[in-house]
Amino acid sequence: MKIHNRVAIGLLAGVLVGVVAGPSASVLEPLGTLFIKLIRMVIVPLIASSLIMAIAGLPGRGSLGRMGVRAVGFIMISLFVALCIAIAVGQVIQPGKMLSSEARSALIDGKEIPVVDPNAPKPSVVDTIVETILSIVPNNPIRAAAEGNVLQILLVSILVGLAASALPEDRRKPLVELARSVAETLFKVTGWILELAPFGIFGLMAAVVGRSGLSVLLSLSAYVGVVLLALVLHIVLVYGVMLRVVARQSPKRLVAAAKPPLLIAFATCSTAAALPVSLSTMQKGMGISARVASFVLPLGASIGRDGSAMYQAISVMFIAQVYGVTLGAQDLGTLIFIAMLSALAVAPVPAASFVNLTIILAALGLPLEGAALILGVERPLDMARTSTNLIGHLVNASYVAAAEGEIDVTAKDDVEVVA
């Protein structure tokens, strides 16, 4: 049985057990925690080795700059369009006006949210941009590796690869071969870890559904529906068009290749956790070169978060509508700008977007208590937005590979994750 089929069975079984067992299903959560820790264990060395191997083996460095411009350009344009779609859907449907005062009181009762002082001095736009750029440069590469900071590891790996590519062939070749051996070894380790994926995802889903229950979804069905509608529209209208028209690739082919990493990202709420699998499946299933995959996918896991930005925009609008606050054109412009910066800076871990949501609420002068309204559906929406983020990373990699002429159209559509 293919890995994605086994993972799907584990996911559905976890939902069933969570519904039946309720809060007691949380005893199964260590299964999921173990799986996530094992996956994260290989992320840093896999990114470093793959990227150094790809860049150090280049005959010239001009193509890397061109590839970087294409990848970052895709991320920024897609992110802006995503926020426009989210705001348009939220303005038209206005889910906050569908929530009764009784339901609002019940949802807020007893909930705690991260504390953010709305009166605290807010950094200027320039300060925020400068801080974001400075955060990319690590004080200590070893510490960055230990903390799993993907963006910092990305920068260090690029610098090492570029420096190695400037060396004579006889001095560069040993490093390239070492990096290739490490990368191939870690792909093999990833394959072993994925054998535990059905059990890990079973434990995660059982615990999540058992704790949250399904009743909270009913009271927030309009809000959840609007978020999901916006995400689907973005996937179809933006990613679908980019893949078919710009990259000239088949969506069916991408879906076939994306099943394993997509299921892992969905269950773990982390694109970083799915990164080792994404690197493997996009090379084997989509025929993307190792050089493109090793650069674009880690970059996307670090700053590409269309789904997270859309979730934050709709959540802010929902809370404003519940409390009867009208957001003007200037407020919506501020929302777009802050959400874009937040998407670039937020960590690729579960619930990070929810924490950032409270900061956006404070910046717009909205009640922080409003975040408690949506806390009950945070996890399922985290799954949905993380899946959207991952699809964006895969489409971006396909687009860059097609533009660079580094995609094999004869690659198989349905393959195992590892050899």
23: pLDDT strictly greater than 70: yes
82: pLDDT strictly greater than 80: yes
Higher pLDDT, 393 or 167: 393
pLDDT in tens, 358-397: 778 877 888 777 777 787 777 888 889 999 999 999 999 9
pLDDT classification of 409: cutoffs 50, 70, 90: low
Instruction: State how far the Cα of 279 lies from the Cα of 288, in Å rounded to an integer.
Output: 9
The DSSP letter of residue 412 is: -
Q: Which of 33-42, 223-232, 259-268, 404-413 has the lowest mean pLDDT?
A: 404-413
Q: Is 350 within 8 Å of 321 (Cβ atoms)?
A: no
Tell me the C-alpha to C-alpha distance, in Å, between residue 8 and each of 13, 151, 194: 8, 30, 13
The stretch 5-12 carries a mean pLDDT of 84
Burial of 60: CB neighbours in 10 Å, binned 0-12, 13-18, 19+? exposed
Tell me the C-alpha to C-alpha distance, in Å, between residue 137 and each of 155, 206, 345: 7, 39, 13
On whether the pTM is more than 0.85, the answer is no
What confidence score (pLDDT) does residue 120 get?
58
Q: Can you list the domains of the chain with their CATH numbers?
A: 3-404 (1.10.3860.10)
Instruction: State how far the Cα of 204 lies from the Cα of 30, in Å rounded to an integer.
Output: 8
Look at residue 235 and give its three-state secondary structure: helix
pLDDT classification of 315: cutoffs 50, 70, 90: very high
pLDDT in tens, 252-273: 889 888 888 998 888 888 887 8
pLDDT in tens, 87-114: 999 999 998 888 777 766 666 655 555 5
To the nearest whole number, what is the mean pLDDT of the chain?
A: 81
Residue 259, both tokens: 């099943």
Distance spanning both ends of the chain, measured CA to CA: 15
**What share of the chain has pLDDT > 70, as a percent?**
83
Residue 207 dihedral angles phi and psi, to the nearest 5°: -65, -45
